[in-house]
Structure 1
Amino acid sequence: MGVSKVQFGVFAVVVVMYTAMLLPTSARAQSPAPAPAPAASDGTSIDQGIAYVLMLIALILTYLIH
């Protein structure tokens, strides 16, 4: 009974080593590309903020007039 456990352990080690040899090293070494650095503000977020404020003012004025 002890021999079968040893044989199974050796078999498992051989299978793991064989699988590791079959995998290409470049596939294991590749990592995903890093995310790009955040760009400096190009003004679109500022324009969008101004548009939201103007729309809020228009909504409040419309509510007060009616």
Structure 2
Amino acid sequence: MTQSKCPVCGCKKFHVKNPEDDYDIYEFECRDGEVCFDEEMDAGECPEVNDATETFCNQCAWHDKFNKIK
């Protein structure tokens, strides 16, 4: 299994923001190009993440479109 890493710091954890509330975030890892949200997240509450979704590193200031880490 290949796990994506931040291109700047190498962190394996990322997050996306809720489009309706910038302070509400959803953490995930990217394994084999697939978004894997934390297990305690209800699948119905997780946002859709596609290639154009703005994605943020959990450790540094990097952010870009999801397809850059996929």
TM-score (norm 2): 0.14
Larger RCO, structure (CA 8 Å, separation 6 or more) = 2
Q: Counting strand residues as a fraction of each chain, which structure ranks higher?
A: 2
